[in-house]
Amino acid sequence: MSAVVSRERLERALQTVQSLLLSHRLPQGHWEGKLSTSALSTATAVMALEQVRRQQAEFETTAQPLIKAGINWLATHQNDDGGWGDTIKSFSNISTTMLANAVFHATDHVERFPDVVSRSQVFIDQAGGVPALVARYGKDKTFSVPILTHCALAGLVSWDQIPALPFELSCISPKFYATVQLPVVSYALPALIAIGQVRHHFRKPRNPLLSFLRDSLIPRSLRVLTRIQPENGGFLEAVPLTSFVTMSLAAKGLTDHAVVKKGIPFIIRSVLPDGSWPIDTNLATWVTTLSANALTRELDGKEGLTSWLLDQQYRRIHPYTNAPPGGWAWTDLPGGVPDADDTPGAILALVNLAKSRPDRNVCEAIVAGVEWLLNLQNRDGGWPTFCRGWGALPFDRSSCDITAHCIRAITKAEDVCGPFAGSREAIGRGFRYLGKMQQENGAWLPLWFGNQYLEAEENPVYGTSRVLLAYRDTGTTDGLAPRDGILWLRSIQNEDGGWGGGSGTPSSVEETALAVEALSGVSSAEEEWKRGVNWLIERIDQGTIGEASPIGFYFAKLWYFEELYPLIYANSALRCAAASAHPPTP
């Protein structure tokens, strides 16, 4: 029997979810959202506080209540299997479990929580211990070395088991970072410096000449670290990265260093009322652009929101990544870094917020953003996240979801600001890259969104949906690639009418909404589209439309959820449904 979508129910559902999303808008006119609390962040923050506490007696009264609250939170949020996941909705993983287990040892809380510690150790042993942790990340040392360092500071891992990080390479000119192929991704330079130094401090090279050379470059690399630290102390606005840097410098006796003095206040300011820490401060710019794109027609105060977005554009070379002006980051706070996912999001929002042709200031910002993206495109035709040409590690390689987002933004920008030099060639190269990256089954894999129910923790529904929107927005829908992507997306719809991250995964609001938006207006998918729309409407009727699901990012090895995602994606999907070329049955 063919599915039927009631026009009345659809319109009522759309009004409801629009009102819910608008209710989260701040008085200033933008959105800030709320990120999930994190066992990973809590464990690393506690370790940073503990390392400073050991060195500074005057810090005792400040640190101990925070340490105790963090330990208590970890003890009460352990999963039934003895491990911890990154969020309270996440499956246990060896990384976060090793981090959490270590802070019980480091802060002398083993006797207070013997069952918690013993159960977590059983989980670690059964998961494979240090070798399993290293295998989880492969050649990329961005996470494995910091986690091992954290455990070494607790006395649980030998410094001999930790690879040396070449902190001295930070002393060369940033323009040569791509040439030397650093063993961490481009955004992790602070960890390279601080963790490389603490490992060197506790286990120096046997070669005295090499040891002397590395010693001589410590002051210079510390100056680099000081220079790239944001004014509020938080590297990337991320508690884990800031904590890894802080604990490493404190452990080698540098508690009075400027980086530690700014890092500790950031960590203290970031603690949540329940004693835990979130993975990041906020995604204000990102959720604002997503919300604006989902609600453009229903928004008042568009001029103020446009001005706010213009204020978030970087007008100078970024001191951290040396990115040129023109891009946007995910947050309005000092720790943000311009990237190729938030920049197209901002461009699309500015285009959509303009009543007709943008005024001069808006058009200049859009042009600068597009040029920033065009200059970032990799030689393979795809777009990376932060830096062009690094290429060795996931964050620095091209990715399908970001490439699709860039193509959409450039295309829409040309509609209102005119053609850009080289844009047609860039878009063509981008589509050729996407063609090469399409899986045999027709799907595309994203970098920034994972699903914990899939064995490889990937999320082909997100990747495929985002790529199909790029084909749709450019009018390139007749080829084999979009057709096969549509066929795949249709084939893995769940019996309940929703979608998960891939075949056989539980339906979620976020992924169902993404699939519905991608299939809106596709005549061959009308049946699946209607069932997906009804699934979303049922969630609204039941009052569960705001239930967020864990999402993997940092190539699906770090997990979070954001309270606004289900509302944003549901708005986009139902708005497209209401305006679809295949309107709902009365």
Strands 37-38 and 277-278: antiparallel
Whether 71 and 197 map to the same domain: the answer is: yes
Amino acid at 334: P
Identify whether the C-beta of residue 144 lies closer than 8 Å to the C-beta of residue 133: yes
pLDDT band at 584 (very low <50, low <70, confident <90, very high): very low
Whether 477 and 500 map to the same domain: the answer is: yes
Q: Cα(4)–Cα(12) distance, rounded to whole angstroms?
A: 16
Query: What pLDDT is stored for residue 477 in this prediction?
Result: 73
DSSP assignment, residue 89?
Answer: T
Query: What pLDDT is stored for residue 554 in this prediction?
Result: 57
Question: Is the pLDDT reported for residue 273 higher than 70?
Answer: yes
Whether 312 and 422 map to the same domain: the answer is: yes
Whether 231 and 299 map to the same domain: the answer is: no
Whole-number Cα distances in Å, 13 to 6, 76, 535: 10, 38, 11
Query: What pLDDT is stored for residue 476 in this prediction?
Result: 82
Question: Is the pLDDT reported for residue 181 higher than 70?
Answer: no
Q: If we measure between CA atoms, which residue out of 399, 378, 395 comes closest to residue 386? A: 395
Task: Mark which of 258, 278, 298 sits at the end of a domain.
Answer: 278
Whether 516 and 433 map to the same domain: the answer is: no
Question: Is the pLDDT reported for residue 173 higher than 90?
Answer: no
Question: Is the pLDDT reported for residue 184 higher than 60?
Answer: no
Q: Cα(246)–Cα(228) distance, rounded to whole angstroms?
A: 14
Task: Mark which of 437, 455, 485 sits at the end of a domain.
Answer: 437
Based on the structure, what is the number of domains in the chain? 3
Helix, strand, or coil (residue 383) = strand
Whether 191 and 62 map to the same domain: the answer is: yes
User: What mean pLDDT, rounded, does the chain reach?
Assistant: 92
Is residue 24 packed enough to be buried (19+ CB in 10 Å), middle (13-18) or exposed (0-12)?
middle
Which region among 30-44, 128-142, 517-531 has the lowest average model confidence (pLDDT)?
Answer: 128-142
Residue-wise DSSP of 396-425: GS-BHHHHHHHHHHHHHHHHHH---TTHHH
Whether 428 and 455 map to the same domain: the answer is: no
pLDDT band at 2 (very low <50, low <70, confident <90, very high): confident
Q: State which residues form the domain around 393.
A: 282-437
As given in the structure block, the two tokens for residue 186 are 């481009």
Question: Is the pLDDT reported for residue 388 higher than 90?
Answer: no
Question: Is the pLDDT reported for residue 558 higher than 50?
Answer: yes
Whole-number Cα distances in Å, 52 to 27, 48, 325, 356, 384: 38, 6, 37, 55, 37
Task: Mark which of 278, 313, 342 sits at the end of a domain.
Answer: 278
- The C-alpha angle with vertex 98 and arms to 119 and 271, in degrees rounded to 5, equals 105
What would the mean pLDDT of 123-137 be, rounded to a whole number? 95
Query: What pLDDT is stored for residue 323 in this prediction?
Result: 87
Query: What pLDDT is stored for residue 113 in this prediction?
Result: 98
Query: What pLDDT is stored for residue 227 in this prediction?
Result: 94
DSSP assignment, residue 553?
Answer: E
Question: Is the pLDDT reported for residue 401 higher than 80?
Answer: yes
Whether 380 and 461 map to the same domain: the answer is: no
Residue 586 or residue 211, greater confidence: 211
Question: Is the pLDDT reported for residue 167 higher than 50?
Answer: yes
Identify whether the C-beta of residue 161 lies closer than 8 Å to the C-beta of residue 203: no
Helix, strand, or coil (residue 562) = strand
Whether 337 and 414 map to the same domain: the answer is: yes
As given in the structure block, the two tokens for residue 225 are 């670290």
What would the mean pLDDT of 538-566 be, rounded to a whole number? 88
Query: Which sign, positive or negative, has the C-alpha torsion 437, 558, 130, 119?
Result: negative
Q: Which long-range contacts (CB under 8 A, 24 or more apart) does 297-306 make?
A: 297/575, 298/18, 298/22, 299/353, 301/29, 302/353, 302/355, 304/28, 304/29, 305/29, 305/30, 305/353, 306/350, 306/353, 306/354, 306/362
Whether 251 and 118 map to the same domain: the answer is: yes
pLDDT in tens, 453-505: 998 899 999 999 999 999 999 988 778 999 999 999 999 999 999 999 999 99
pLDDT band at 375 (very low <50, low <70, confident <90, very high): very high
Amino acid at 534: N
Whether 298 and 274 map to the same domain: the answer is: no
Query: What pLDDT is stored for residue 174 in this prediction?
Result: 63
Which region among 17-21, 58-62, 555-559, 581-585 has the lowest average model confidence (pLDDT)?
Answer: 581-585
pLDDT in tens, 190-210: 999 999 999 999 999 889 888
Query: What pLDDT is stored for residue 21 in this prediction?
Result: 97
Radius of gyration of the chain (CA): 24
Residue-wise DSSP of 518-552: HHTT-GGGHHHHHHHHHHHHHHHHHT-TT----EE
Q: What is the dihedral of CA 147, 150, 154, 155, to 10 degrees?
A: 60
Which residue has tokens 């959820």?
A: 561
Q: Cα(454)–Cα(340) distance, rounded to whole angstroms?
A: 26
Whether 462 and 394 map to the same domain: the answer is: no
Look at the pTM and tell me if it is higher than 0.85. yes
Query: What pLDDT is stored for residue 394 in this prediction?
Result: 65
469: domain CATH number is 1.50.10.20
Query: What pLDDT is stored for residue 581 in this prediction?
Result: 44
Query: What pLDDT is stored for residue 186 in this prediction?
Result: 57
Amino acid at 25: R
